[in-house]
Amino acid sequence: MNTEQQILPLSRFRRIVVKVGSGVLTRKNSLNLDVINSISSQICALHDRGMEVILVSSGAMAAGVKKIGLKKRPSETPKRQAVSAIGQADLIHEWEKAMEHCGRKVAQILLTRGDLCDRGRYLNARNTLNTLLEWKVLPIINENDTVAVKSLQFGDNDNLGAMITMLLDADLMINLTDIGGLYNKDPRRHDDAQLLREVTAMGSDIEAMAGEIAGPLGTGGMGTKISAAKKLTSAGIPMIIACGLEQNILVKIMDNNYTGTYFVPNEQKASSRKNWIGLTLQAKGRLTIDKGAQKAVVEKGKSLLPSGITRVENYFEVGDPVEFITEDKVVLGMGLVNYNASDILKIMGCKTSQIKKRLGFRSYDEVIHRDNLMITAYPDDARL
């Protein structure tokens, strides 16, 4: 981490995702039209520089609360979802008006986690978004709160934004919130909190800095922004947290003349399919692997064979995403399995030549083929 330096390889940034939080877009539970107008004209300025922009906009619930005259957000799920549905109409209407001012069109895209976990729907979303970008229309994305229940939820737009950034192979995600970046401790509680200008390694020290409690209008606090940054940097994509209330912040960022936190990406970039497996899918189960398998899979990039597996947790089917972990429960990565959980229980610890004898069939030698897995951490720097 660094409190001083900041290096932006600006020439690389042609396609960017801009996520704007509720705290930026709303004022006392109503939409802040000045901010919407200002961010819209900044987006147009980026368009004029030849850049492609995708907007992830929060604020539906805050807008809905105001519209139907509630004093605060309801706590029951159906009421929250209904309020969000009401607010979303208002939100998109205001963005549309503001962008129209600069002669640009917008499109609304509402997604659930399930949409991005299904490979077919994931590719459909990508095709649609790419078409909108080709047509120079601004895609405005939010979670489809109305139908998103816990198991299908992103839960926060920081992680949704990160997944969209990976889906579109964008060069950068700018996360605009109501504070100037990541501080070394929660600035609401500590007057001496210091802004970090650059984060180079996403260790537990960084996670510990983030307060889980969001601002009065936000959802995840800094915790979900760190989790989004972790996904992106391990996919080789940078993220910037900056204050969306600051005048001309997007333009300042692109001119590399801003205050905020820059998360430096890993140098290695995995394929977008591997990123989808490792960073978008939710694990259905877990496989514990021994030291030999860790060396083969993590260090040498080989497939996971039955011989290195020592434990199977939860039930899962062939093709499901499953995490592989160390004995100390450090998550090393995720992969799509060639055998279901009960078959792996029968073949774990055995040689591939014994698979047929134990199961009566042998569809694959590998439990997870190396093309179908992504390493997300290494034994020494990973933790649960």
Ligand X SMILES: N[C@@H](CCC(=O)OP(=O)(O)O)C(=O)O
Ligand Y SMILES: Nc1ncnc2c1ncn2[C@@H]1O[C@H](COP(=O)(O)OP(=O)(O)O)[C@@H](O)[C@H]1O
Chain residues in the site for ligand X (CB under 6 A): 21-22, 58-61, 84, 142-143, 145, 156-157, 214, 218-220
Alpha carbon distance 374, 280 (integer Å) = 11
Would you list the DSSP string of 115-126? HHHSHHHHHHHH
318, 338 in Cβ contact below 8 A? yes
Q: Closest approach of Cβ 221 to ligand Y, in Å?
A: 4
Question: Could you say whether residue 187 binds ligand Y (CB under 6 A)?
Answer: yes
DSSP state of 282: P
* Binding mask of the shown chain, residues 3 to 22, with x at each position contacting ligand Y by CB under 6 A: ------------------xx
Q: Decide whether 243 or 368 has the Cβ nearer to ligand Y.
A: 243
215, 25 in Cβ contact below 8 A? no
55, 139 in Cβ contact below 8 A? yes
Question: Could you say whether residue 39 binds ligand Y (CB under 6 A)?
Answer: no
Distances (CA, A) of 148 to 112, 120, 144, 237, 357: 6, 19, 6, 27, 44
Burial of 230 (0-12, 13-18, 19+ CB in 10 A): buried
Q: Using CB under 6 A, which of 215, 246, 290, 370 touches ligand Y? A: 215
Q: Decide whether 56 or 293 has the Cβ nearer to ligand Y.
A: 56
Span from 46-54, 114-122, 216-224, 248-256 in contact with ligand Y (CB under 6 A) = 216-224
Span from 39-47, 208-216, 329-337, 338-346 in contact with ligand Y (CB under 6 A) = 208-216
Question: Could you say whether residue 222 binds ligand Y (CB under 6 A)?
Answer: yes
The residue to which tokens 């936190």 are assigned: 261
Q: Using CB under 6 A, which of 13, 183, 262, 276 touches ligand Y? A: 183
Annotated binding-site residues for ATP read: 19, 177-178, 219-225
86, 146 in Cβ contact below 8 A? no
Q: Closest approach of Cβ 217 to ligand Y, in Å?
A: 6
Question: Could you say whether residue 186 binds ligand Y (CB under 6 A)?
Answer: yes
Span from 7-15, 86-94, 162-170, 172-180 in contact with ligand Y (CB under 6 A) = 172-180
Q: How many CB atoms lie within 10 A of CB 325?
A: 22
Alpha carbon distance 197, 213 (integer Å) = 22
Question: Could you say whether residue 209 binds ligand Y (CB under 6 A)?
Answer: yes
Q: Decide whether 220 or 308 has the Cβ nearer to ligand Y.
A: 220
Distances (CA, A) of 91 to 82, 214, 255, 305, 307: 14, 21, 29, 50, 54
Annotated binding-site residues for substrate read: 58, 145, 157
Q: Using CB under 6 A, which of 73, 121, 185, 252 touches ligand Y? A: 185
Q: Decide whether 185 or 269 has the Cβ nearer to ligand Y.
A: 185
- Which one of ligand Y, ligand X, none interacts with residue 60, CB within 5 to 8 A by kind? ligand X
Which one, of 56, 61, 257, 36, lies nearest residue 166 by Cα? 56
Q: Closest approach of Cβ 320 to ligand X, in Å?
A: 27
Q: How far apart are the first and last CA of the chain?
A: 21
Alpha carbon distance 331, 384 (integer Å) = 7
Span from 62-70, 90-98, 144-152, 177-185 in contact with ligand Y (CB under 6 A) = 177-185
Q: Using CB under 6 A, which of 219, 227, 234, 275 touches ligand Y? A: 219
Q: Closest approach of Cβ 110 to ligand Y, in Å?
A: 18
Annotated binding-site residues read: 19, 58, 145, 157, 177-178, 219-225
Alpha carbon distance 93, 87 (integer Å) = 10
Name the residues that contact ligand Y, by CB under 6 A. Answer: 21-24, 58, 177-179, 182-183, 185-188, 209-211, 214-215, 217-222
